[in-house]
Structure 1
């Protein structure tokens, strides 16, 4: 019989049907089948059938095999094989109902009905089997009692109830699929949480890597350059200039240590509000800080970019314009966050123009990674000094 796509939507198995079923559910059918079988064998052995003994024993063997087969999943069987196995179980149980009405064998047809409802995915196949089993049970019972004179004819309405366990089987099937779907959803949620955790860890690693690059990369490269220069000067007999290069390397190392400490402090300030972090940074650097707009939550990477830009801008101001007044302004807008760092400039002839410019490059790269912009340059006349302006999306 064909049991194709016109019925599969009725009870189509989820893609995760291979998940382990509930242990308690798997014990119900084996217990019922084993109980009926044991009682039937005891009754048939104690009171051997007077008529059709061979047929009754053969049918008992058939329902035993079909009942044991129902203990296992049928998902690997083809549709026609499932239909055939359920049909044999139901028909053999219906005939036993009629031929051995005084034994527990009458229960096999009811188990077969429930098994068809639970195992088969096709609605047409299920109702065809259960309907046929009901008709065969009624006809065979009437024939066995009226024509073959088999003793112990059951009450007439019992054969009409053969199809009722079908709904028990369907309910168990739907419950199994619901549990399977719930397990699958739980697995997907766990995988999504693990994936999010891995992504967060990778983002954090990237953020720390940028901090190390920004803080240590510039200092170490400068130190290496100065030491190489000192080595070359010593080889050329210019000891005084080599000593100066070594002292510059030492100054870079001290500056790098300070920058590293500030970066570590910033990394540990993720839970502290950004305005408070900048205020502390300004206080420790003899600068002023002002906040405009309504402060709100910003992503961690945006806050870190603001903090690192402020650190670099303050450091540059103190390095290139010693004694200048430094001001920080943090402004919150609807979709942007802006940081402006300005200095009042060094006295005439005192501005230090040394530096590689790597700090500005690092700040621009950090802003670009977050779809922001960074501008740095002198203030427009008649104002004197330097300004660094950072804009980042919130």
Structure 2
């Protein structure tokens, strides 16, 4: 549209502005027409490639040439150059500069006509010259709209960059969570299975089939326990998992600990992430209790407070021979990472009093 208007103004000027020649006043009109056309065509130059002082100089020379053309020509539409340049002044320059230069344009063009400085003054009223600076207001409005659109685009781009960064963070967080889940399900059990299989392999050379059979049975038991833990993990990771109390009850029952859950406070729905992480913490604590304190009693308490949800798991001392095997040592670290992601705290340590004295306790508190 701007290109079409610019070319239309130049075309109409070429057809109407007179006199045009190769000498005298005709040559002056032709030269000023070329200068005005060049100043008008320069509107299409990219903004970022021209410094402000050069733009100001170019537009100042343009309005001087436009006023001169109005005075030198005896007929035609020379005033259109002043109108269009004034509009572009408002678009290209800052508001204060634009208003000053547009005012100068109006005074210069009006003065040329008012003081009869050229042969064309009788064709145009001097008040028309004063109004040549008025289009600056249109240019200022267009510039404001352009800046508003640019600001909206930049805000959208910034929001998109922030969303991408958040998505990358979420991916990294999810990777960390999956790594912890893999550890919880596989690290302990695979280490124990490997140890029993290595023991069985070593015992084959001794010919003690009873001990080989015992190691093999332990390995089978660990495999069954691993499958059970895998089921717990899948259940805990599902977004449509049962509510926390029901899920925790089912987990305890499947691990052989029935009627050991105590719930205090008003039961309420908690976010899926809280449910998943509390279930994984419970699974880790139960696994450690079975490994380090076989045969011990287990007590689980789920407490709903006004602004938090707490899970406490206690086990007593072992009542059978401990054969813990080799672990990765990452269980407690994984618990702390899980709770830290939710802004909570976790504590773990020996029980020093009460019926579980000599055992171990894990307590996680997650705020809401």
TM-score, normalised by the number of residues in structure 1: 0.79
Q: Determine the structure 2 residue equivalent to 1:72.
A: 45
CA, structure 1 residues 135+280, in 2 after alignment: closer, same or farther (shift >3 Å)?
same
Q: Give the Cα separation in 1 of the matches to 2:355 and 2:108.
A: 107
CA distance in 1, matches of 2:241, 2:44: 57
CA positional deviation for 1:232: 2.6
Count residues with an aligned counterpart.
358
Contact in 2 for aligned 1:141/1:153 (Cα 8 Å): no
Aligned counterparts, 1:280-359, within 5 A: 280-285=250-255, 286-288=257-259, 289-295=261-267, 302-315=274-287, 320=293, 322=295, 326-342=298-314, 351-356=320-325, 358=327
Q: Tell me the residue number matched to 2:336.
A: 368
Counterpart in 2 of 1:98? Answer: 71
Equivalent residue in structure 1 for 2:134, among 159, 164, 169: 164
- Please, which runs of 5 or more residues in structure 2 have no aligned partner? none
Distance 1:294 1:338 in 2: 12
Q: 1:87 to 1:77 in 2, by over 3 A?
A: same
In structure 2, what is the equivalent of residue 265 of structure 1?
A: 235
CA RMSD, aligned part only? Answer: 3.2
Segment of structure 1 superposing worse, 148-157 or 104-113 = 148-157
Q: Using the TM superposition, name which of 218-227 and 62-71 deviates more.
A: 218-227
Query: Quick one: structure 1 residues 237 and 62, their matched pair in 2 at CA, closer, same or farther if it must change by over 3 Å?
Result: same
Give 3-state SS (helix, strand or coil) of 2:362's partner. Answer: strand
With 363-372 and 220-229 compared, the bigger mean Cα shift is at 363-372
Who is 2:188 aligned against? 218
Q: How far did 1:106 drift?
A: 1.3
Contact 1:363–1:374 under 8 Å retained in 2: no
Residue number among 107, 110, 115 corresponding to 1:138 in the alignment: 110
Normalising by structure 2, report the TM-score: 0.84
Which blocks of at least 5 consecutive residues in structure 1 are unaligned? 1-26
Does 2:245 correspond to 1:275? yes
Structure-1 residue corresponding to 2:151 = 181
Q: CA deviation at 1:275?
A: 2.7
Structure 1 residues 357 and 304: CA distance shift in structure 2, 3 A? farther
CA contact (8 A) 1:338 1:389 kept: no
Q: Among 199, 203, 209, which residue is 2:169 paired with?
A: 199
**Counterparts in 2 of 1:287 and 1:312: CA distance versus 1, 3 Å:** farther
The counterpart of 2:353, out of the listed 380, 386, 390, is 380
Offset of residue 243 of structure 1: 3.7
CA distance in 2: counterparts of 1:151 and 1:93, whole angstroms: 14
Rounded to whole Å, the distance in 1 between the matches of 2:278 and 2:175 is: 18
Task: Give, in angstroms, the shift of residue 379 of structure 1.
Answer: 7.2
